[in-house]
């Protein structure tokens, strides 16, 4: 399979990339802003499977020029089977301290960037393709919400709604669109959101789940927001 994964330099994205590279036939384009972390990812992937195809791409999904990225994907992959929109950012501030700029940055990172990726990558996808948007239980309707995460959770809720809309917009193309509302996994972002909290789920476990769902979930789901959580948070 040909996979494009954003937010691949750390946490769940990092582990998801490694899971895909276990199969030599997969080609995985790993997108992140940190070239150093991408080099580390490539090093680890090759140490696990020397024959893997992992293509690191230093790219900002909000601000960089897709006129360079799309031809690269066309040349190296031809078509895209899976797009995982995993990149994201977090602001942890009380609502009183949250600024309009904070809110804008959350929507830029957690919604607009993914909008950009889908607009540019979806034309490279064929019937049977799968777009997976990575949201959060913080953006899942009816879930417990926490102080300090109003901007973050609002943006993740918007990503979930975008998923539902796109599933119908793209129905004629045969490309399925789903959203995973992830609960806690032991990552740097979790520590930022809930300092001192230890999740019962490791990042590599959640990464394996995401990879497995991206590869098979479109056979059973379309336009669904699926909670993936065993604890609150």
**Between the CA of residue 163 and those of 109, 118, 121, 175, what are the distances in Å?**
16, 11, 15, 12
Neighbours of 47 (CB within 10 A): 9
Domains assigned to the chain: 2-228 (3.40.50.720)
Note whether 84 and 4 are within 8 A (CB): yes
Catalytic machinery residues? 152
Note whether 32 and 62 are within 8 A (CB): no
pLDDT in tens, 51-99: 999 999 999 999 999 999 999 999 999 999 999 999 999 999 999 999 9
Q: What DSSP element (H or E) covers 92?
A: none
SS3 label, residue 80: strand
Note whether 48 and 22 are within 8 A (CB): yes
pLDDT in tens, 155-203: 999 999 999 999 999 999 999 999 999 988 877 776 787 888 887 798 9
The confidence score (pLDDT) of residue 205 equals 96
φ, ψ of residue 61 in degrees (nearest 5): -70, -15
Distance CA 50, CA 24 (A): 9
SS3 label, residue 125: strand
């Amino acid at each position: 399979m040909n996979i494009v994964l954003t937010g691949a330099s750390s946490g769940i994205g990092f582990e998801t990339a490694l899971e895909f590279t276990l199969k030599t036939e997969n080609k995985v384009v790993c997108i992140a802003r940190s070239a150093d972390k991408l080099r580390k990812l490539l090093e680890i992937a090759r140490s696990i499977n020397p024959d893997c195809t992992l293509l690191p791409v230093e790219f900002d999904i909000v601000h960089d020029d897709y006129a360079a990225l799309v031809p690269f994907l066309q040349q190296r992959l031809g078509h895209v089977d899976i797009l995982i929109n995993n990149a994201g950012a977090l602001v942890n501030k009380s609502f009183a301290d949250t600024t309009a700029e904070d809110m804008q940055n959350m929507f830029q990172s957690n919604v607009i960037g993914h909008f950009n990726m889908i607009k540019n990558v979806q034309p490279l996808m064929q019937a049977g393709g799968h777009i997976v948007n990575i949201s959060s239980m913080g953006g899942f309707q009816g879930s417990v919400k926490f102080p300090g995460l109003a901007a973050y959770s609002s943006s993740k809720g918007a990503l979930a709604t975008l998923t539902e809309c796109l599933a119908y917009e793209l129905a004629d193309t045969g490309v399925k669109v789903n959203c995973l509302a992830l609960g806690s996994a032991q990552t740097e972002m979790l520590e930022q959101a809930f300092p001192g909290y230890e999740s019962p789920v490791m990042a590599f476990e959640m990464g394996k789940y995401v990879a497995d769902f991206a590869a098979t979930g479109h056979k059973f789901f379309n336009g669904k927001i699926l909670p993936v959580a065993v604890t609150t948070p």
